[in-house]
C-alpha cells in the first residue's frame, strides 16, 4: 500500500510539476509576447523619430541652400549697388564741377553786365552833358 501511495504521490507531484511547467510556459509566452510588443513599439517609435529627424535634416539642408542662394544674391546686389553708387558719385562730382563752372560764368557775366551798366550810365551822363552843352551853345 505504501507503494501505491508513493505512486499516487508521485503521479500527483508529476501532475503538479506538469501543471506548473504549463503555467510557467504560459507565463513565459505571455512575457515574451509583452516584450515583443514593447520592442515593436520601441522600434516603431525609433523609426518615427528617425524619419522626423531625417525630414528635419532635409528641410534644414533646403533652408541652408536657400539661405546660401540669398546670401549670394545679396553679394551680387551689394556689388551692383556699390557700382551704381560709384557711378552716382561720379555724376554728382561732375554736376558739382559744372555748378562751379556755371557760377563762375554767372559771376563773370554779372561783372560784365555791371561794367556795361556803368558804361551805359557814363554814356548816358555824357549824352546829357552833350545835350546840355549843345543847348547852352545854341542859346548863347
H helix or E strand, kind and range, residue 68: helix 2-138
pTM tops 0.85: no
* pLDDT tens, residue by residue, 1-11: 778 878 887 88
Backbone phi, psi, residue 97, to 5°: -65, -40
* pLDDT tens, residue by residue, 47-105: 999 999 999 999 999 999 999 999 999 999 999 999 999 999 999 999 999 999 999 99
* Residue-level pLDDT at 24: 94
All 3 cell numbers of residue 118?
556803368
Model confidence at 19: pLDDT above 80: yes
All 3 cell numbers of residue 79?
556689388
Q: What CA dihedral angle connects 100, 106, 109 and 111, to 10 degrees?
A: -90
Per domain, the residue ranges of the chain are 1-102
Please measure the distance between the N-terminal and C-terminal CA atoms of the chain and give it in whole angstroms: 199
Tell me the average pLDDT of the chain. Answer: 94
* Residue-level pLDDT at 8: 80
| % residues pLDDT > 70 (the chain) | 100
Cα(111)–Cα(120) distance, rounded to whole angstroms?
A: 14
Cα(66)–Cα(93) distance, rounded to whole angstroms?
A: 40
Q: How many CA atoms lie within 13 A of 46 on its CB side?
A: 6
Distance of CA 65 to the CA centre of its chain: 12
Amino acid at each position: 500500500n505504501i507503494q501505491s501511495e508513493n505512486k499516487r504521490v508521485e503521479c500527483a507531484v508529476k501532475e503538479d510539476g506538469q501543471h506548473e511547467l504549463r503555467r510557467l510556459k504560459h507565463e513565459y509566452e505571455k512575457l515574451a509576447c509583452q516584450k515583443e510588443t514593447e520592442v515593436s513599439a520601441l522600434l516603431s517609435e525609433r523609426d518615427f523619430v528617425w524619419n522626423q529627424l531625417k525630414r528635419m535634416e532635409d528641410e534644414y539642408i533646403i533652408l541652408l541652400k536657400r539661405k546660401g542662394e540669398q546670401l549670394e544674391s545679396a553679394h551680387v546686389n551689394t556689388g551692383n549697388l556699390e557700382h551704381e553708387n560709384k557711378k552716382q558719385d561720379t555724376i554728382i562730382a561732375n554736376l558739382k564741377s559744372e555748378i562751379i563752372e556755371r557760377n563762375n560764368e554767372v559771376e563773370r557775366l554779372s561783372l560784365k553786365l555791371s561794367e556795361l551798366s556803368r558804361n551805359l550810365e557814363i554814356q548816358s551822363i555824357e549824352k546829357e552833358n552833350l545835350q546840355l552843352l549843345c543847348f547852352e551853345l545854341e542859346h548863347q
